[in-house]
């Protein structure tokens, strides 16, 4: 109970802080009453409803999606190191975006959604095809590393040949929710919400697989269906997160590990907790980046890498000692 | 024994053939002073550097694969190369030039190797722990490199991005001399370890029964692998998957297990030369660096390796 309640409370507090505090100054709590009203003459409502509200929602959605995707993929591969980014899904989305920019010149926010989702879907499909022929989780992880390596190589080639694509990539790779607008938010939600539904469906199948593939077959669960549902959920959720906030590393790794703690839980509950924790982590990174140094906004990708990397290594060493 | 000799000769001949092709690629040089200068100061160092750095990577990969008993555990995957690349990216971002590339790559590669080995050192350096921690460290270093690329000013970022895709285009005789020294010293050290390494293949207990210290051997081989890959990154930038492919290809050709050091070094050189030949091709009005081609060929090859590998560390 406390593992679900605590993140929920933290999330509410962080959401309030994210709406009220930022580079544009601190607003009084009473300002929240004007949320949703559009008064072009009042700078306070513009700040609140057009800048901080979309940013907060984007951070929440992206973090929740990454946490849930990580939980589902980790349960599927039975590997605490697994996450969509590690399986090459982020690299696929990046390749889709940069490839479109390279071929089609300047395409604005909304036009990049289809290529990002397509890139993520292609990599997920390849990983699924690979996963069907492997029994072990570590093979899947290394296959993801191979796919990510290839996608990154093609991407590097494009950005070496085209300075404009390089600049676009540089702006995107660091991860930020600072410039999210309503259409991007809507497109992200369109990917994340069906992904969450798939994750819920996958969670039931994954519980049957927790005792091993043999036991799952004995229980009448289709392994193929479970894998397809899980990887589909992972692809939709991580593509949505990539569109909303860029490629954020480690959130999908840490949130499920924190959610799992010492006890075991059903995959559904675990996924929900991981989504809450992921949303809280991304929101905290965004708020922290806004207020840490006055006048300078640190992108969430940087804070996520700086905080998340050592956390992951620490988790790995602790797991190996046990 | 004769099979090993045949394979070695064939690999060496293939390497020489590729080198000759590379010297002639882009038109035969004229018989005047300009032609001689092109041959002596541009094409010859480039071919030699490619072969030597390829050999370094082949040695480094097969050393780590042997001691970790996993064909997929290479310096790239385990984070040794990532440390060198991240440190180089940082040095370019800070100094604005390529002046500190060599010390940065060495310091970064050795520091990340020390960190990974130190974290995994409990209980005689079990292979699984080294792989898992290495992958986590590699992920962190990759994220940091991307952030550095994004935050550095445009010119430095362009320089870094070019460096991070390995290329032999800026080869000169100084680099060739250093590479030759590294290959000789590294080869000698690896040869010294090879007796123990060949016996490690049968498991830690068997190695101990023969009076060897598996933990110490593993530490030495991993340290040497880190050193070799750091020098390779410093001299040409990262060439992904060469270290991964050389060892398993050599074993498949020889039909035997173990470290297969000379053949892996030759195969590494062959792969690097082939990548440099591809890098001479004109693609979309420009030429792409060799590191890109090794990644394009190496990625699918790694997938095949994963699908065919049954033994696990």
User: What local confidence, expressed as pLDDT, does residue A231 receive?
Assistant: 81
Establish if B94 belongs to a structural domain: yes
* Count of the separate structural domains present in chain B: 1
Nearest to A146 among B146, B291, B302 (CB): B302
Whose tokens are 């709406």? That residue is A19
CB atoms within 10 A of CB B164: 23
Distance (Å) of CA A59 to CA A40, A189, A228, B16, B137? 25, 12, 27, 56, 26
Establish if B176 belongs to a structural domain: yes
Inform me whether the pLDDT recorded for B45 exceeds 50. Answer: yes
CB atoms within 10 A of CB A17: 17
Predicted confidence band of residue B201 (pLDDT cuts 50, 70, 90): confident
Domain segments of chain A as ranges = 2-321
Inform me whether the pLDDT recorded for B98 exceeds 60. Answer: yes
Rounded Cα gap, residues A33 and A8, in angstroms: 22
pLDDT in tens, B231-260: 999 999 889 889 988 988 888 888 877 778
B302/A320 CB distance under 8 A: no
Assigned CATH topology for domain A2-321: ABC transporter involved in vitamin B12 uptake, BtuC (1.10.3470)
Rounded Cα gap, residues A72 and B52, in angstroms: 45
Establish if B283 belongs to a structural domain: yes
Chain B neighbors of A146, CB-CB under 8 A: 298-300, 302-303, 306
Whose tokens are 């479970």? That residue is A226
Predicted confidence band of residue A23 (pLDDT cuts 50, 70, 90): low
Would you call A134 an interface residue with chain B, using a CB distance cutoff of 8 Å?
yes
What is the arithmetic mean of pLDDT over A46-69?
Answer: 85
Rounded Cα gap, residues A54 and A262, in angstroms: 35
Contact B264, B142 (CB under 8 A): no
pLDDT in tens, A190-244: 889 999 999 999 888 888 777 777 777 777 777 778 888 888 888 888 888 888 8
Give me A279's structure tokens. 């949303």
Predicted confidence band of residue B311 (pLDDT cuts 50, 70, 90): very low
Instruction: Give CB contacts under 8 A, 24+ apart, made by A103-110.
Output: A105/A164, A106/A164, A109/A181, A109/A183, A109/A184, A110/A183, A110/A184, A110/A187
Nearest to B303 among A143, A249, A317 (CB): A143
Q: The complex's ipTM?
A: 0.77
Contact A110, A47 (CB under 8 A): no
Give me A274's structure tokens. 């991981």
Nearest chain A CA: its distance from B84 CA (Å): 17
Instruction: Give CB contacts under 8 A, 24+ apart, made by B101-104.
Output: B101/B163, B101/B234, B102/B234, B102/B235, B104/B234
pLDDT, mean over chain A: 78
Tell me the whole-structure pTM to 2 decimals.
0.82
Establish if B313 belongs to a structural domain: no
Pick among B132, B242, B298 to test the A interface (most A CBs inside 10 A): B132
How close are the terminal C-alpha atoms of chain B, in Å? 28
Q: Is A193 exposed, middle or buried (0-12, 13-18, 19+ CB in 10 A)?
A: middle
Predicted confidence band of residue B203 (pLDDT cuts 50, 70, 90): confident
CATH number of B183's domain? 1.10.3470.10
CB pairs under 8 A between A and B: 137
Whose tokens are 């990759």? That residue is B142
Rounded Cα gap, residues A39 and A264, in angstroms: 50
What is the arithmetic mean of pLDDT over B24-36?
Answer: 78
Establish if B178 belongs to a structural domain: yes
In this structure, chain B runs to a length of: 313
């Amino acid at each position: 109970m406390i593992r679900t309640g605590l993140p929920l409370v933290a999330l509410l507090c962080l959401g309030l802080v994210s709406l009220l505090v930022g580079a544009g100054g601190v607003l009084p709590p009473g300002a929240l009453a004007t949320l949703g009203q559009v008064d072009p003459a009042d700078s306070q409502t513009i700040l609140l409803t057009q800048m901080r509200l979309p940013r907060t929602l984007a951070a929440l959605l992206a973090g929740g999606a990454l946490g849930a995707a990580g939980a589902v993929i980790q349960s599927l591969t039975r590997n605490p190191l697994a996450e969509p980014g590690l399986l090459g899904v982020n690299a696929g989305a990046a390749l889709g975006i940069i490839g479109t920019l390279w071929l089609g010149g300047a395409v604005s926010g909304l036009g990049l959604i289809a290529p990002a989702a397509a890139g993520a879907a292609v990599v997920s499909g390849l990983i699924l095809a690979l996963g069907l022929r492997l029994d072990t989780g570590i093979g899947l992880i290394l296959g993801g590393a191979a796919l990510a390596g290839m996608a990154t190589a093609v991407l590097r080639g494009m950005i070496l040949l085209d300075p404009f694509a390089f600049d676009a990539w540089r702006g995107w790779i660091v991860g930020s929710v600072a410039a999210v607008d309503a259409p991007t938010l809507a497109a992200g939600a369109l990917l994340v919400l069906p992904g969450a539904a798939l994750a819920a469906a996958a969670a039931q199948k994954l519980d049957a697989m927790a005792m091993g593939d043999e036991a799952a077959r004995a229980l009448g669960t289709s392994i193929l269906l479970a894998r397809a549902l899980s990887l589909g959920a992972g692809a939709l959720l991580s593509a949505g997160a990539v569109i909303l906030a860029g490629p954020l590393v480690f959130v999908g790794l840490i949130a499920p590990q924190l959610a799992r703690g010492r006890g075991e839980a059903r995959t559904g509950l675990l996924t929900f907790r991981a989504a809450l924790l992921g949303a809280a982590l991304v929101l905290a990174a965004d708020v922290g980046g806004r207020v840490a140094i006055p006048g300078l906004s640190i992108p969430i990708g940087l804070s996520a890498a700086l905080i998340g990397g050592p956390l992951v290594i620490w988790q790995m060493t602790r797991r190996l000692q046990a | 024994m004769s099979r090993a000799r045949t394979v070695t000769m064939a690999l060496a001949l293939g390497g020489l053939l590729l080198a000759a092709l590379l010297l002639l690629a882009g038109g035969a040089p004229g018989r005047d002073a300009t032609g001689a200068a092109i041959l002596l100061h541009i094409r010859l160092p480039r071919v030699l550097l490619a072969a030597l750095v390829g050999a370094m990577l082949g040695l480094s990969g097969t050393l780590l694969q042997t001691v970790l008993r996993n064909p997929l555990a290479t310096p790239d995957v385990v984070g040794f190369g990532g440390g060198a690349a991240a440190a180089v990216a940082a040095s370019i971002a800070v100094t604005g030039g390529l002046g500190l590339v060599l010390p940065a790559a060495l310091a970064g590669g050795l520091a990340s190797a020390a960190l990974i080995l130190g974290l995994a050192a409990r209980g005689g350096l079990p292979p699984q722990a080294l792989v898992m921690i290495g992958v986590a460290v590699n992920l962190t270093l990759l994220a940091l490199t991307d952030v550095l690329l994004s935050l550095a000013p445009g010119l430095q970022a362009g320089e870094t991005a070019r460096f991070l895709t390995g290329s032999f285009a800026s080869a000169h005789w100084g680099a060739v001399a250093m590479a030759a020294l590294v290959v000789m010293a590294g080869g000698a050290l690896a040869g010294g370890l090879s007796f123990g390494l060949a016996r490690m293949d049968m498991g830690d207990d068997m190695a101990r029964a023969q009076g060897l210290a598996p933990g110490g051997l593993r530490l030495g081989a991993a340290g040497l692998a880190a050193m070799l890959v750091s020098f390779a990154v410093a001299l040409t930038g990262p060439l992904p998957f060469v270290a991964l492919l050389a060892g398993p290809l050599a074993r498949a050709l020889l039909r035997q297990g173990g470290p297969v050091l000379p053949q892996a070094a030759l195969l590494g050189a062959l792969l690097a030369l082939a990548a440099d030949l591809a890098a001479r091709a004109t693609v979309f009005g420009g030429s792409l660096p060799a590191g890109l081609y090794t990644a394009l060929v190496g990625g699918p090859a790694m997938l095949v390796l994963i699908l065919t590998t049954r033994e696990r560390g």
